């Protein structure tokens, strides 16, 4: 009760609105990141489905910001309760993601990605270009993969500076380079989910305080 008396109704309403503005920014960035990440995985794979679930969660976060602002502006308890339900659903989705966090599974998926691209490279030249350019790597284990198969090392294996191509190709193979890159993103992703749980829990407390304030005021007027 001390907190509800400390904060005025207008202060809580504006705090909830500011919270939702930050949520909108975070949600929008999450949607963009998920769309970008979807391109890295094969459609229909488990990893692809996980990204779709994350995309849906990010979209719900964006949608919830409008519900939250609407409830705060009009002081509607019903709308704020809907906002609470959405926040709880988002928190549950983050917990679900953390529960299913599995680095070994992620590394296997990465190996399959590189292996599939390499098998296509053996049939059609250029299948490895995007991976090699993005991750600055060459071949599966090294550029020798091309040499051992009497294949020409593609230009995507070379670094370009000031329109000049380096003499030697990238030393690192794509297995290790892509694994390291994806694992870094995966760990940042885990940290992001943990931070979002705390952020959305904070929002949950704010909304509950505002509802308490609104209900207290309505009871006072009823007398």
How many CB atoms within 10 Å of residue 67?
A: 19
120 contacts 127 by C-beta, under 8 angstroms: yes
Q: Per-residue confidence of the chain (223 residues) as pLDDT tens digits?
A: 444 444 577 888 899 999 999 999 999 998 888 887 777 666 666 666 777 888 888 899 999 999 999 999 998 999 999 999 999 999 998 998 888 888 888 888 888 889 999 999 999 888 999 999 989 999 999 999 999 999 999 999 999 887 788 888 999 999 999 999 888 888 888 898 999 999 999 999 999 999 988 887 655 544 4
End-to-end Cα distance, the chain: 20
Phi, psi of 160, rounded to the nearest 5 degrees: -115, 130
**Closest of 46, 188, 190 to residue 110, by C-alpha:** 46
> What is the per-residue pLDDT for 222?
47
> What is the per-residue pLDDT for 156?
92
Q: CA-to-CA distance for 12 and 21, rounded, in angstroms? A: 14
pTM of the model: 0.73
214 contacts 9 by C-beta, under 8 angstroms: yes
> What is the per-residue pLDDT for 33?
82
> What is the per-residue pLDDT for 160?
84
| Angstrom distances, CA of residue 175 to CA of 113, 114, 142, 180 | 9, 7, 9, 9
């Amino acid at each position: 009760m001390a907190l509800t008396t400390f904060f005025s109704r207008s202060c809580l309403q504006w705090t909830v609105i500011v919270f939702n503005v930050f949520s909108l920014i975070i949600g929008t960035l999450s949607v963009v990141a998920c769309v970008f990440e979807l391109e890295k995985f094969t459609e229909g794979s488990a990893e692809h489905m996980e990204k779709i679930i994350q995309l849906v969660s990010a979209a719900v976060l964006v949608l919830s910001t409008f519900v939250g602002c609407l409830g705060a502006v009009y002081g509607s308890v019903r709308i704020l309760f809907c906002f609470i339900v959405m926040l709880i659903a988002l928190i549950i989705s983050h917990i679900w993601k953390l529960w299913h966090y599995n680095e070994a599974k992620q590394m296997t998926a990465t190996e399959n990605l590189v292996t599939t691209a390499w098998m296509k490279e053996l049939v059609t030249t250029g299948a490895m270009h995007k991976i090699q350019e993005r991750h600055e790597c060459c071949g599966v284990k090294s550029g020798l993969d091309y040499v051992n198969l009497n294949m020409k090392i593609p230009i995507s294996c070379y670094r370009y500076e000031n329109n000049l191509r380096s003499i030697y190709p990238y030393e690192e193979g794509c297995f290790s380079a892509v694994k390291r890159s994806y694992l870094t993103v995966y760990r940042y992703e885990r940290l992001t989910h943990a931070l979002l749980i705390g952020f959305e829990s904070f929002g949950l407390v704010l909304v509950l305080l505002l509802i308490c304030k609104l209900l207290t005021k309505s009871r006072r007027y009823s007398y």
